[in-house]
Amino acid sequence: MHLPRPASLLVLFTSLLILLLSGCSTAVRPPPPSLDAKLQQQAHALESQGNYQGAAALYLDAAAHANTPRKEDFLLYAVASLIRGGDHVRATELLDGLTPARLTNLQLQHHDVNRARLALNDGHPDRVLELLQPVPASGPHAADYRHLRAEAYRVNGDYFNSARERIAMNDLLVDPQLRLENQFGTWEAVSGLSDAELQHLRTTPPPDVLSGWMELVELTRLYLQQPDALAEVIPHWQMRYPGHPASGPFIDELLGSMRLAGQPPAQIALLLPLSGPLAGAGTAIRDGVLAAYYDTSQGIPRPQIHIYDVGTDPLAVLETYQQAVAAGAGYIIGPLRKEAVQVLLQQGPLPVPVLALNRVDMEDLSNPALYQFGLAPEDEAREVARRAWHEGHTRAVAMAPEGSWGSRVFAAFSEEWTRQGGELLVQQFYNSQETDHGQAISSALKLDASKTRHQRLVRQLGQNLEYEPRRRQDIDFIFLLATPKQARSIRPQLSFYRASRVPVFSTSHVYTGRPDQGRDHDLNGIIFCDMPWTLEDSGKWQHLKQTISEHWRANSDRYNRFYALGIDAFRITPYLQQLGSGMFSSYHGVTGNLTLDTQQQIHRTLRWARFHQGLPQLLESRAEATAGNTFP
């Protein structure tokens, strides 16, 4: 037996004395919370009540009575509260007042996280990725790094890297609820990938976590309206990916959401212009709906379809709507004419929901039962601005046809381009009825200024000089809004005026939708966006394209995209109420990746192609282009 040494006896005696003085309790009481912990509890309580300014005031008061480095900690917490409360101006002022060189490593991370939150809120996702690099492997801010980077990639349309950030973030989260929310975010990111991207990018075999997510999304799309069939194959998926984060609560939520959604109404009414000037487009939409209807898999209930001709009078749509409702319609698809959509939009609460096939850009008009879906050229112009910016361009020249349509689409491009941070050097409108656009191009490229300089030198020197006009050299790219006929004229003239090497971006309007190698040879080099229906030749809908081409050959060329609009309008109807939330953040259709905003407007994300030897060639998506990048 070993006797304790005197120092040990003193420690033992002191411990017993503390225990006796603590009262009758048999356990030692925990130490009281620190002042910082109490402060954070109070601040969190205020934030939970929506009082972010109050929480920031607590931190600022603590900072006023603290010394470095605690002072900087409190200031950074105050900034975070202000950002969450939407006071970005005050948050920026406080951040600008801090000197990064005086901050500790952890404070620098918190500083950059706050800067990144502001950049994301201001619509600058690329700045977020610049700030949050490299990513700490652990620590109090590591999860924030991953979350903000995931959101930045998502805003950029890079869903592949957004998913990778979410997967890396999962192991940094301890709280089960936060983990489940992150899994929903992962699902949303992977769901943003197209069918082709899921096939091309799933290269790592099981049990790779990302491959597991991609395979689960593919299975869900395959059994979209058959949740019971999906439930039967899930155990096989779980065997291939044991311990996958999606197993457990997430799978239960997924199956539950699918059972609630995807049930079509008993009857759908089509309100379309089948006579008058829009009859061709209306008929193509009708036939697209019918093609999707007859393509429905066995075992999936199909609604009855009643078809109504709304003619040419926009005011007649209300009476037709009421007639369809009285006949038992559970959903309305149409109308197509913008003025008719506005008539319905201005009504009071609609008893039966409507999927309108055009968009009314009036923020003061809204109706919770009316969804707006169409082939909006403004969406495409905004996509051009985002694509050009992501490719590193900063200075643009824009050319658009004269008239209200050209002005409206150009305005959408200009707004998005400026929001991205780009500079619009020149906006030039041209006469779409003419074939010689030399004057408009010369003005856009400032060739007139070059000619003026030459004439001035001739006058000053009093002798003829050799002269070759020079265009302005500060142009990164040209946004050309044009039809195929117009573009076939303008593109060669751009080359003639020494702009052959300037990238040209356009919308789907530059392409007929059908390959025409001989006539489109003059379009070589133009980069444009369009729906998967026209650009992809390996989609699951190829049999539908073949069917439409065989049955409606006369109209399939001219109204190709309207057939696709009809297909998506029919297929998306059962998911409208869930679109944009939970498991159904997006829907992959033949017209694009469809998402719903807070104004009940459906937006399309498109594919990209470049004319080469007279034919459109698909370009890599951002996901495919970055899939091989080293992951931080």
CATH code where residue 163 lies: 1.25.40.10
175, 66: one domain: yes
360, 427: one domain: no
472, 359: one domain: no
Task: Check whether 12 has a pLDDT greater than 50.
Answer: no
Count of positions (residues) in the chain: 632
66, 150: one domain: yes
Task: Check whether 458 has a pLDDT greater than 60.
Answer: no
DSSP label of 618: E
The pLDDT score that the predictor gives to residue 628 is: 58
Q: What is the distance between the alpha carbons of residues 75 and 94, in angstroms, rounded to a whole number?
A: 7
pLDDT, one tens digit per residue, over 310-327 is: 999 999 999 999 999 999
What secondary structure does DSSP assign to 548-609, as a single string? Answer: HHHHSHHHHTTTHHHHHHHHHHHHHGGGTTTTTBTTBS-EEETTEEEEE-TTSBEEEE-EEE
Predicted confidence band at 400 (pLDDT cuts at 50, 70, 90)? very high
Would you say residue 561 lies in a domain? Answer: yes
Predicted confidence band at 263 (pLDDT cuts at 50, 70, 90)? confident
Q: What is the distance between the alpha carbons of residues 584 and 579, in angstroms, rounded to a whole number?
A: 5
φ, ψ of residue 149 to 5 degrees: the values are: -65, -40
364, 401: one domain: no
Quote the mean pLDDT of the chain. 86
The pLDDT score that the predictor gives to residue 582 is: 65
Predicted confidence band at 484 (pLDDT cuts at 50, 70, 90)? very high
Q: What is the share, in percent, of the chain residues with pLDDT greater than 90?
A: 62
Task: Check whether 448 has a pLDDT greater than 70.
Answer: no
Would you say residue 211 lies in a domain? Answer: no
Beta-strand pair 477-480/592-596: unpaired
Strand ranges (E), 472-524: 477-480, 504-506
329, 475: one domain: no
Cβ(445)–Cβ(397) below 8 Å? yes
Q: How many CA atoms lie within 13 A of 361 on its CB side?
A: 10
Cβ(601)–Cβ(372) below 8 Å? yes
Q: What is the share, in percent, of the chain residues with pLDDT greater than 70?
A: 88
Strand ranges (E), 349-468: 354-356, 370-372, 395-401, 423-430
Beta-strand pair 477-480/504-506: parallel
pLDDT, one tens digit per residue, over 161-180 is: 999 999 999 999 999 999 99
> Higher model confidence: residue 202 or residue 300?
202
The alpha carbon of 66 is separated from its chain's Cα centroid by a whole number of angstroms, namely 44
Among 173, 189, 206, identify where a domain stops.
206
Would you say residue 244 lies in a domain? Answer: no
350, 397: one domain: no
171, 293: one domain: no
Measured CA angle at 373 (ends 552, 152), to 5 deg: 120
585, 614: one domain: no
504, 574: one domain: no
Task: Check whether 406 has a pLDDT greater than 50.
Answer: yes
CATH code for the domain in which residue 509 is found: 3.40.50.2300
Among 206, 222, 251, identify where a domain stops.
206
The alpha carbon of 250 is separated from its chain's Cα centroid by a whole number of angstroms, namely 23
Task: Check whether 85 has a pLDDT greater than 90.
Answer: yes
Burial of 278 from C-beta contacts in 10 A (0-12 / 13-18 / 19+): buried
Predicted confidence band at 467 (pLDDT cuts at 50, 70, 90)? very low
344, 424: one domain: no
Would you say residue 429 lies in a domain? Answer: yes
SS3 content of the chain, % helix, strand, coil (to 5): 50, 10, 35
φ, ψ of residue 23 to 5 degrees: the values are: 105, -155
Whole-prediction pTM: 0.82
Predicted confidence band at 298 (pLDDT cuts at 50, 70, 90)? confident
466, 614: one domain: yes
The pLDDT score that the predictor gives to residue 9 is: 33
Question: What is the tally of structural domains in the chain?
Answer: 3
Q: Select, from the ranges 322-326, 348-352, 533-537, the one with the highest average predicted confidence (pLDDT).
A: 322-326
Q: State the residue range of the domain holding 579.
A: 267-372+540-589
Among 206, 230, 255, identify where a domain stops.
206
Peptide bond into 335 cis (omega under 30): yes
> Higher model confidence: residue 18 or residue 342?
342
φ, ψ of residue 67 to 5 degrees: the values are: -105, 165
Would you say residue 437 lies in a domain? Answer: yes
